[in-house]
């Protein structure tokens, strides 16, 4: 047998010589220093399956020569202390999360071998979501799922794999499917997924099956050594102490009680077919983060420097329906202000993505650091619809300006303390080519009426933002039309007080 | 060079400049742009982005990546942060550095997606189980979303502890000029990490200490680390506090409103000042006490029911009367509103705010829209 070693040992006390046919795998520590006491033996009960599974894994690691590149993620449950024994890199995870933690360990160390070792409560109850999704992503990890149908460490409560009728401390009359459901078949469940490479259920009921388990464990590890995909080995395992049986009876129960419910099978052993999808381009960090100077952000001309602005701070509120380009209009103004060396801020009303709801945004243009980005008393209100006009007009400072998207003010609107300019922006936009450009008509009108920012900057910003030539042409016309409307139809608009 | 940038996106740019190459998260408004920009940026620069099946999985993936020694982060908002608290406790217990971003929204429960600051207690006092601390930074501008995230990664590694960037919906969603220069991140050695190498084979990442003495020793070590952080890492901004008779205290977006309020009050002849903690833990208590030492009144303003208020009162320790005004549900107080409130106690004769109304009681009195406690 390939795992049998014969080593000649000389007993230091008696001086006698003898051959050791089986010795502890060098993947286990010589003595278990992380244990508080009894450092020469494990914390597992006599007859427990964990010791066997540990041994199979350690021997597999040894045989494949991957000890130095293996990372073992241990769970919560009896095997929480797997790191006492395995002389490999160890990460101890939260209850149920070992496969999530292992996912990220593997992605951080893609050329290493990552194992997740989990019990039935850990994997099939509290960690069900994590194992299904790790498997569904085809994470390149090996998961060893030790199924003994009971919570061992916490003293014998029901597990999701507890058999129907099996007594536990939380099913004192036996598991009743009407209230507690049926045993969960994890291997079968994961076999419905596309991504896993290898899924097999084995049992520790007799030597023949233990040898089968050994081959399964080794195969799962080989797949990891070869970076070949997600492997999952479910191991039906005895828990004599909690089952109230002696080790021999417990082994028999694995074969007589468990295997009929959890049939042993190789469910999957093939590499998943991966469709060809585009790979992301690889680019320098500075380019990806747009930290380099580009055409989009040419330095503004000198004449547009901040000290040429007549105001020290203005607050603008823009409001309308979602889809009217209200937020974009605000962004354009903010970008323009930034290019003209002002301090600026843009604050949106944000909500679930929707098209017909209300939207508004706040824009501050200032020569000083912007304090509150909320414009609670706007110098200028751009009201793209009647609802917004009614809603926000009373916030406008006395002597402030309202640009209203409409031919006439609604009847009864009190404009005694503010200047109101009506602009049929929708109609004008329609004429220049698209009703969607009403926001740009309003931008033109705003620039012409207030002279707060330069319309050349507006074109620079539009050129940078609008990639489609046709749309850019419509925007150019809309901007000009908005300015012309003020120029020709309205005439000089008295400056809002804040601009003085 | 300045670029107009959304707070959430600026945050991710800062993270990448800090050397963060791994993001595990789950979408939630108003934090989703962070995950979206991570999904856009990281795969182009050899990093990892993974949309997890839940925040529970995401934070445990952060645990895994941090165990392997990479700079890793996640971002979420209230409901997602609640799900992450278990993992944050494990991260602190296992002394794993990482950055967790909370772009706060309204709660409790589903609440709404509008800005609140109601996760202060959960993040600053530690919403998970056990004795631990998060390092918590509170940005107030788009620029700070990037800069404080950079700092968060530094501090997380320096103290081997989770660091939190506690922002709010407004700071996350607003756009302002961002000025960032490309630089190569200097990544510290992490000899404790588990990397699947001969050198790190004996390493163990764990938060379990079975023996009472062992766990006590572990916690004493954590405590010593926290004391060191309190000594060296407190950060704050003080504005016009030298001669302030009224000191306004707030963090995040509120501090911006307070800045404008101070200016408005000073125009009216009221000597107001503003103190803003930048680190919410460790809390800059000494600096706050100093800034308040000449004031007659301190007013704490928050978008919650008075969560930081308690820390301000501890810092000032009864030396100066401390009042609280909060708006919740996504409402943010305006400069005009705050000015009236300050005038009500600073110069009661000069304003129309009813200072004798139910707001001024020993108990926290609540009117339908606001809370003022004195």
Q: Give the count of domains, chain A.
A: 2
- Note whether B336 contacts A: Cβ–Cβ < 8 A: yes
What is the model's pLDDT at position A490? 81
Window 310-349 of A: residues touching B by CB (8 A cutoff) are 331, 334-335, 338, 343-348
Mutation target for A interface from B16, B60, B104: give the one with most A CBs within 10 A: B60
Q: Is B31 helix (H, G, I), strand (E, B) or coil?
A: coil
Residue A15's pLDDT band (boundaries 50, 70, 90)?
confident
Rg for chain B, CA atoms, rounded: 21
> Is pLDDT at B359 greater than 50 in this prediction?
no
Contact B211, A105 (CB under 8 A): no
Mean pLDDT, chain A, integer: 92
A92 touches chain B (CB under 8 A): yes
pLDDT-based confidence at residue A2 (cuts at 50, 70, 90):
very low
ipTM of the complex: 0.93
Q: Is A88 on the interface with B (CB under 8 A)?
A: yes
What is the distance in angstroms between the Cα of A298 and the nearest Cα belonging to chain B?
10
Q: Is A1 contained in some domain?
A: no
For residue A494, what are the domain limits?
Answer: 303-499
Q: What is the pLDDT of residue A457?
A: 96
Q: What would the two tokens of residue A362 be? A: 């706040």
Is residue A93 within 8 angstroms of chain B, CB to CB?
Answer: yes
Which residues does A12 contact at the CB level (< 8 Å), separation at least 6? none
pLDDT, residue A295, reads 44
Look up the CATH number of the domain holding residue A404.
3.40.920.10
**Residue A489, domain member (yes or no):** yes
Domains of chain B: residue spans and CATH:
2-232 (3.40.50.970), 237-373 (3.40.50.920)
Structure token pair of residue A456? 């050349």
Cα(B330)–Cα(B113) distance, integer angstroms: 8
Residue A372 at interface with chain B, using a CB cutoff of 8 Å? yes
Report pLDDT digits (tens) over B283-341: 999 999 999 999 999 999 999 999 999 999 999 999 999 999 999 999 999 999 999 99
Together in a domain, A474 and A345: yes
A290 within domain boundaries: no
Question: Would A184 be classed as within a structural domain?
Answer: yes
- Give the pLDDT confidence of B219-236 residue by residue, as tens digits: 999 999 999 999 999 999
Residue A133 burial (CB count, 10 A): 19
CA separation for the pair A406, A293 (Å, rounded) = 41
C-alpha to C-alpha distances, B310 to B124, B241, B303, B366, B374, nearest whole angstrom = 12, 21, 14, 17, 12
Residues A104 and A233 in one domain: yes
Torsion of CA B218, B219, B221, B226, to 10 degrees: 150
User: What whole-number distance in Å separates Cα of residue B80 and Cα of residue B77?
Assistant: 6
Torsion region of A181: left, alpha or beta (phi above 0 gives left; psi -120 to 50 gives alpha): left
The beta-carbon neighbor of A334 closest among B4, B90, B207 is: B4
Residues A325 and A254 both lie in one domain = no
Residue B171 burial (CB count, 10 A):
31
- pLDDT tens digits along B18-36: 999 999 999 999 999 999 9
- Give CA–CA dist A117/A102, Å, rounded: 10
Q: What count of other Cβ atoms lies within 10 Å of the Cβ of residue B143? A: 19
Query: Taking CB atoms and an 8 Å limit, are B50 and A103 in contact across chains?
Result: yes
How far apart CA A318 and CA B65 sit, in angstroms, is: 44
Instruction: Quote the distance between the C-alpha of residue B14 and its chain's center.
Output: 16
| pLDDT for A10 | 74
Of chain A, the percentage scoring pLDDT greater than 90 comes to 85
Please check whether residues A101 and A199 belong to one and the same domain: yes
Q: Does A352 reach chain B within 8 Å, measured CB to CB?
A: yes
CA distances from A62 to A6, A348, B301 (A): 16, 60, 62
- pLDDT tens profile A166-186: 999 999 999 999 999 999 999
**Helical residues (DSSP H) of B94-184, grouped into ranges:** 120-124, 142-159, 169-173
Q: Which residues of chain A neighbour B70 with C-beta distances below 8 Å?
A: 108
Reported as a single tens digit per residue, the pLDDT across B145-190 is: 999 999 999 999 999 999 999 999 999 999 999 999 999 999 999 9
- Distances A335 to A330, A348, A371, B68 between C-alpha atoms, Å: 9, 14, 18, 41
Residues in chain A with CB shorter than 8 Å from the CB of B95 are: none
Residue A487 DSSP class: I
The pLDDT value recorded for residue A354 is 54
Lowest mean pLDDT among A34-43, A389-398, B44-53: A34-43
Query: What's the rounded Cα separation, in Å, for the pair B202 and B198?
Result: 8
Contact B32, A268 (CB under 8 A): no
Q: Using CA atoms, how far apart are residues A435 and A332, in angstroms rounded to an integer?
A: 18
Q: What is the pLDDT of residue B362?
A: 37
Strands ordered across the beta sheet of B279-281: B48-51, B22-25, B72-76, B98-104, B162-168, B135-137, B279-281
- In angstroms, the first-to-last Cα distance of chain A is 95
The yes-or-no verdict on residue A8 having pLDDT over 60 is yes
pLDDT (mean) for A195-200: 98
Query: Are residues A258 and A375 located together in one domain of the fold?
Result: no
At A16 the pLDDT is: 78
pLDDT tens, residue by residue, A349-374: 876 555 568 899 999 999 999 999 99
The rounded mean pLDDT for chain B is: 93
Q: Rounded CA gap, B68 and B52, in Å?
A: 18
According to the model, what pLDDT value does residue A294 have? 45
pLDDT score of A391: 94
Chain A residue with minimal CA distance to B85?
A: A94
Q: Judge whether A404 lies within some domain.
A: yes
Q: Is B75 helix (H, G, I), strand (E, B) or coil?
A: strand
CATH label of the domain that carries residue A52 = 3.40.50.970
Q: Are A240 and A329 within one domain?
A: no
Cβ atoms of A243 and A49 closer than 8 Å: no
Residue A297 to residue B335, Cβ atoms within 8 A: no
Which of residues A254, A269, A284 is at a domain's end? Answer: A269
Q: Of A246, A269, A292, which residue is a domain's last? A: A269
Q: Is B22 on the interface with A (CB under 8 A)?
A: yes
Q: Which pLDDT band, with edges at 50, 70 and 90, does B373 fall under?
A: low
Q: What is the DSSP string of A404-457?
A: EESSSPPTT---SSSEEEEE-HHHHHHHHT-GGGHHHHHHHHHHHHH--S-HHH
Residues 80-99 of B with CB under 8 A from A: 86-87, 90, 94
Residues A352 and A414 in one domain: yes
Which of the four pLDDT bands, split at 50, 70 and 90, describes residue B366? very low
Q: Residues B144, B178: contact at Cβ < 8 Å?
A: no
With respect to residue A212, please indicate whether it lies within any of the assigned structural domains. Answer: yes
The whole-angstrom distance between residue A247's C-alpha and the CA centroid of its chain comes to 45
């Amino acid at each position: 047998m390939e795992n049998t070693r014969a080593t000649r040992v000389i007993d230091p006390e008696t001086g006698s010589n003898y051959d050791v046919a089986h010795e502890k795998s060098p993947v286990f520590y010589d003595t278990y220093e992380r244990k508080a006491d009894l450092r020469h033996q494990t914390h597992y009960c006599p007859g427990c399956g964990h010791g066997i599974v540990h041994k199979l894994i350690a021997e597999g690691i040894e045989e494949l020569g991957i000890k130095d590149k293996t990372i073992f993620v241990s769970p919560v449950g009896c095997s929480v202390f797997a790191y006492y024994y395995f002389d490999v890199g160890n990460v101890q995870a939260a209850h149920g999360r070992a496969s999530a933690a292992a996912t990220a360990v593997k992605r951080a160390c893609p050329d290493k071998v990552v194992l997740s070792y989990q019990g039935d409560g850990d994997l099939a109850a509290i960690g069900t979501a994590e194992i299904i999704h790790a498997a569904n992503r085809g994470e390149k990890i090996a998961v060893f799922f030790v199924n003994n149908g009971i919570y061992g460490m916490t003293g014998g409560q029901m597990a999701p794999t507890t058999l129907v009728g099996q007594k536990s401390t939380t099913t004192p009359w036996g598991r009743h499917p009407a209230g507690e459901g049926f045993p969960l078949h994890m291997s079968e469940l994961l076999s419905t997924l596309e991504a896993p490479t290898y899924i097999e259920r084995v049992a520790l009921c007799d030597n023949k099956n233990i040898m089968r388990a050994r081959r399964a464990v080794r195969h799962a590890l080989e797949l990891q050594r070869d970076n070949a995909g997600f492997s999952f080995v479910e191991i039906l395992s005895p828990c004599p102490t909690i089952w109230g049986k002696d080790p021999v009876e417990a082994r028999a129960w694995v074969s007589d009680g468990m295997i009929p419910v959890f049939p042993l099978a190789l469910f999957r052993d093939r590499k998943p077919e991966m469709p060809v999808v585009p790979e992301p381009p690889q680019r320098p960090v500075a380019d990806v983060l747009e930290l380099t100077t580009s055409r989009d952000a040419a330095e503004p001309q000198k004449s547009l420097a901040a000290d040429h602005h007549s105001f020290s701070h203005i607050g603008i509120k823009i409001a309308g329906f979602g889809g009217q380009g209200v937020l974009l209009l605000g962004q354009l103004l903010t970008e323009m202000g930034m290019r003209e060396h002002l301090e600026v801020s843009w604050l949106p009303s944000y909500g679930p993505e929707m098209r017909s709801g209300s939207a508004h945004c706040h824009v501050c243009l200032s020569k000083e650091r912007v304090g509150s980005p909320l414009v609670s008393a706007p110098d200028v209100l751009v009201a793209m619809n009647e609802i917004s006009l009614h809603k926000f007009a009373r916030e406008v400072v006395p002597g402030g300006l309202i640009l209203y998207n409409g031919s006439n003010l609604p009847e009864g609107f009190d404009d005694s303390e503010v200047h109101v300019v009506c602009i049929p922006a929708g109609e004008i936009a329609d004429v220049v080519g698209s009703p969607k450009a009403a926001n740009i008509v309003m931008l033109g009108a705003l620039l012409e009426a207030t002279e707060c920012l330069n319309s050349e900057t507006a074109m620079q910003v539009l050129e940078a933002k609008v990639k489609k030539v046709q749309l850019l042409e419509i925007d150019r016309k809309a901007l000009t039309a908005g300015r012309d409307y003020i120029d020709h139809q309205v005439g000089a608009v008295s400056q809002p007080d804040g601009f003085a | 060079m300045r670029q107009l940038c959304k707070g959430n996106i600026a945050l991710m740019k800062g993270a990448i400049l800090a050397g963060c190459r791994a993001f595990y998260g789950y979408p939630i408004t108003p934090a989703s742009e962070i995950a979206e920009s991570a999904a856009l940026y990281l795969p182009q620069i050899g990093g990892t982005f993974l949309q997890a099946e839940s925040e529970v999985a995401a934070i445990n993936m952060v645990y895994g990546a941090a165990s392997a020694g990479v700079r890793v982060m996640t971002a979420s908002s209230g409901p997602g942060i609640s799900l992450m608290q278990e993992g944050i406790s494990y991260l602190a217990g296992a002394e794993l550095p990482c950055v967790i971003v909370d772009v706060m929204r309204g709660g409790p429960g589903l609440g709404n997606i509008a800005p609140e600051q109601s996760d202060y207690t959960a993040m600053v006092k530690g919403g998970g189980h056990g004795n631990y601390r998060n390092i918590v930074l509170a940005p107030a501008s788009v620029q700070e979303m990037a800069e404080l995230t950079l700092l968060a990664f530094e501090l997380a590694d320096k103290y081997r502890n989770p660091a939190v960037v506690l922002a709010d919906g407004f700071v996350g969603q607003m756009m302002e000029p961002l000025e960032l220069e490309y630089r190569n991140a200097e990544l510290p050695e992490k000899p404790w990490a588990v990397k699947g190498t001969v050198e790190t084979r004996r390493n163990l990442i764990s938060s379990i200490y079975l023996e009472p003495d062992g766990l006590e020793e572990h916690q004493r070590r954590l405590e010593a680390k926290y004391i060191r952080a309190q000594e060296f890492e407190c950060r704050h901004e003080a504005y016009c506090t030298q001669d302030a008779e009224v000191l306004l205290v707030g963090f995040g977006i509120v501090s911006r409103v307070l800045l404008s309020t101070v200016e408005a009050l000073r125009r009216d002849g009221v000597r107001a000042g503003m103190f803003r903690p930048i680190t919410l833990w460790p809390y800059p208590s000494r600096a706050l006490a100093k800034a308040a030492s000449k004031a007659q009144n301190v007013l704490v303003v928050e978008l919650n029911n008075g969560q930081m208020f308690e820390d301000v009162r501890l810092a000032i320790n009864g030396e100066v009367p401390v009042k609280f005004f909060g708006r919740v549900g996504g409402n943010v107080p305006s400069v005009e509103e705050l000015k009236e409130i300050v005038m009500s106690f600073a110069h009661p004769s000069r304003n129309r705010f009813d200072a004798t109304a139910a707001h001024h009681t020993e108990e926290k009195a609540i009117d339908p829209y606001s809370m003022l406690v004195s």
